[in-house]
Amino acid sequence: MPKAWTLAARPQGNPKPGDFALIDVDTGPLAPGQVRVANRWLSVDPYMRGRMNDVKSYVPPFAIGEPMQGGAVGEVVESADPAFAAGDMVLHMGGWRDEAVLPAAELQKLPALPIDPQAFLGQFGMPGMTAYWGLLDVAAAREGDTVFVSAAAGAVGSTVVQIAKAEGMTVIGSAGGADKCEWVRSLGADAVIDYKSCGSLPRALGAAAPGGIDVYFDNVGGDHLDAALAVARANARFAICGMIDVYNDGKATELRFLARLIGMRVRMQGFIVSDYMARGAEFYRDMGGWLAEGKLRREETVHDGLAAMPEAFMGLFTGGNTGKMLVRV
């Protein structure tokens, strides 16, 4: 019997194993237009934490007792729709389970790029699109800009670093711990701040960017956002992508440098990558080009087996991943 992860209870603060339960799902025979997919790779992403709360947001909350959703790559094993045939590799949102039965309209064949299929859950998927659109469109970063990106060793942040370097920017990344920092440096970052050992973050950032920053790509919120405000140059643009800092505990953000918004005419713009879904062709074109030029590298942190999903997800909030966090089914 296919299995899927459901929420057993809405997490209070940090998610714990007991918040999740593995259930049997009787997917049954296919109706016309449906496709059966054997999932090979499952994604865990920080935004999923928001869906675990019973709060109206830009995506509806997960229902208790129902299979959760999330990005997945799998192989078609049975099709009742002419657009798909057994053996097709597809991308879809029926993750958190080993087998998905979905209408054909909710499946996408993997674009023809010379990369591993699981990359379409990371650098060539939603996290990569987040990096690309956030940096180039929301923050309008351009050649010559000085860019600061937090969580620079993560799936989104590491792609921001590489796109920024490919486009001729100066890049400062932050990450936690020597190994992650070394990896960010190896991606081409001009400076890397280990936020776990740097002491005052505004001071460390000021030292790394003596002339200030033009762009901040925020994956973290909190003290990183405050440090970015502290060193923002005139007309700086902040792309506000994630605030992993507050996803679990809902605590208030304390900003000491917020008034610099005014003097420096800073623009802070929140965004959601799904608003850019219709522009996939531009993304694949540019990313494919940088890939061909050898300008893109990626790292994966892989957990094995459907049973490991909760552990992989919880690891996102404890710094457990370098690059994209994935589960291989």
Binding residues (CB under 8 A) for a second copy: these are 50, 57-58, 221, 240-243, 246-247, 250, 252-256, 258-272, 275
In the block, residue with structure tokens 């033009």: 214
Which of 109/265 has CB closer to a second copy? 265
Ranges of beta strands (E only) in 44-195 are 72-79, 89-92, 99-103, 108-109, 146-149, 170-175, 191-194
* CA distance linking residue 242 with residue 13, whole number of Å: 17
Which of 115/264 has CB closer to a second copy? 264
Asked whether 145 and 163 are in contact (CB, 8 A), the reply is no
In the block, residue with structure tokens 């405000």: 229
CB of 160 to a second copy, least distance (A): 16
Burial label, 305 (beta-carbon count in 10 A; 0-12, 13-18, 19+): exposed
Which of 92/260 has CB closer to a second copy? 260
Which of 1/262 has CB closer to a second copy? 262
CB of 210 to a second copy, least distance (A): 14
Which of 271/290 has CB closer to a second copy? 271
CB of 241 to a second copy, least distance (A): 7
Question: What does DSSP say about strands 34-43 and 99-103: parallel, antiparallel, or unpaired?
Answer: antiparallel
CB of 138 to a second copy, least distance (A): 9
Q: Which two tokens stand for residue 161?
A: 């670093």
CB of 292 to a second copy, least distance (A): 33
Asked whether 183 and 153 are in contact (CB, 8 A), the reply is yes
